[in-house]
Amino acid sequence: MRVELSSDFQKKYQKLLGDRSQALFAAIQTDSQEAFRLNPLKPNYQNVSYSLAKPIEYSPIGYFGEINGNSIDHLSGYVYSQEPSAMYVTEILDPKENERILDLCAAPGSKTTYIASKMASQGLLVSNEINTKRAKVLSSNIERMGISNTVVTNNSPKDFEKKFDNFFDKILVDAPCSGEGMFRKDPESVKYWSLDYVDQCANRQQHILDSAYKLLSPGGTLVYSTCTFSPEENEQNVDWFLKKYPDMHLEPVKKYQGMEDGRPAWGNGNPELTKALRMFPDKFNGEGHFMCKLVKDGEIEETRERMINNGVKKDDVKFVEKFAKANLNGLAETSWLKISDFLYQAASLDNRFKGLHILRNGLKLGEFKKNRFEPDIAWILALKPDDLKTVFELNAEQFEKYLHGESIILEQRPSFDNKWIGLSYQGKLFSWGRYSNQQIKNVYPKGLRR
């Protein structure tokens, strides 16, 4: 499909890039590069059906190649499709275990799930998305990847300011932008582009950066990125930010083959902008991106949680313990949180979250029903086979039937008799099954069936 570039876009980049502009325009007409990422939170996470013969140099878990969204590797959260340029943002952020990290513009979840995979289920990751529909997609992707240390919020960045002043060790602002770098991947986005739209995006990004500054702890790291070529949204915004907040400074980021320095001439001549990086598709094997690493002066200080009541009652605990005794090989001590009839392994019980619109707080374990507890699919996607008393391995025919919503009839009485079992295909857990009378009843969520 040919990308129809507007005359304003072409004139702008002919002026900025000179003769090189033709190479950029030609690159935008080529096919985008497909890539995927593995999930270290899963057992034997490299055991996937996709070729790992083309690793991405700057990502230890990234590979060039295309994945099938209906494959068991995808359904069980072993792989995540992600554009190769975008993978480098998380490597620049460099998440660590036990840090407090905020992904301020997180949907659909590509960068958040990458961040979580490097945190090893430790620390706190807050993933925020202002758009409600996109926030729900974000939450479902976090669930699929078996992530337990994340609070998913659906708020404006300003909603965080009074509650989380100087709170986060690291913040990612992957800002909503004019999307010029994604034109060939999403040709429809060209229709929304205009010179005025670029200015609108730049203004909105400044408001987001203002909030991020207030939320960042002294000594903390802020990574700012966009998927656009626009100087207004990149170098000029970073220069504006550094002038407004003199206690922030740019740190250089490592550049691999095809990555280029930020351009001081596009940012009011600020020489520090060479520490940022750009990716243009005529030189780099990926889409167009801008990224930089900003650090706030000072020392990171420990912040204590302001604990809230978790709402869990004694009878709730008994129901969960009864379920665990029958179906699990032990039950880890965690911070439980009850919301309505649902039980979560909370990522945080901090009172600061009160008043925010929370879609998910940690790992959804299940639901309390009359005199019983029923597990949620999110829990099985976060468990390992050794955590379960029984894992039943489906064959290809059974797997397809189960995904279609059918129950599995067993020809012979199995050796197990516990009611809730883990279902696996090609060695990967993907769902609960409810066993009764030589039949595994289908409990796969209707929204995931095909």
Is 73 annotated in some ligand binding site? no
DSSP conformation letters of 173-233? EE-----GGGTTT-GGGGGG--HHHHHHHHHHHHHHHHHHHHHEEEEEEEEEEES---TTT
Is 239 annotated in some ligand binding site? no
The side-by-side arrangement of strands in the sheet containing 363-369 is 336-339, 342-345, 363-369, 372-375
Is 106 annotated in some ligand binding site? yes
Q: Which amino acid is at 235?
A: E
Other C-beta atoms within 10 Å of 100: how many?
Answer: 22
* Strands 100-103 and 124-128, sheet pairing: parallel
Beta bridge partners of 307: 350
Is 243 annotated in some ligand binding site? no
| Residue 241 DSSP symbol | H
Is 311 annotated in some ligand binding site? no
Is 201 annotated in some ligand binding site? no
Beta carbons of 70 and 93 less than 8 angstroms apart: no
Is 174 annotated in some ligand binding site? yes
Annotated catalytic, 201? no
What's the CA gap between 420 and 111, in Å, rounded?
A: 33
At which residue do the structure tokens 């220069």 appear?
239
Beta bridge partners of 422: 391, 432
Cis ω on the peptide bond leading into residue 108 (within 30° of 0)?
yes
Nearest-5° Cα angle at 425, 138 to 420: 80
| Token pair recorded at residue 199 | 């200015």
What's the CA gap between 288 and 95, in Å, rounded?
A: 23
Which residues are part of a known binding site for S-adenosyl-L-methionine? 105-111, 129, 174
Cite the active site residues.
227
Which residues are part of a known binding site? 105-111, 129, 174
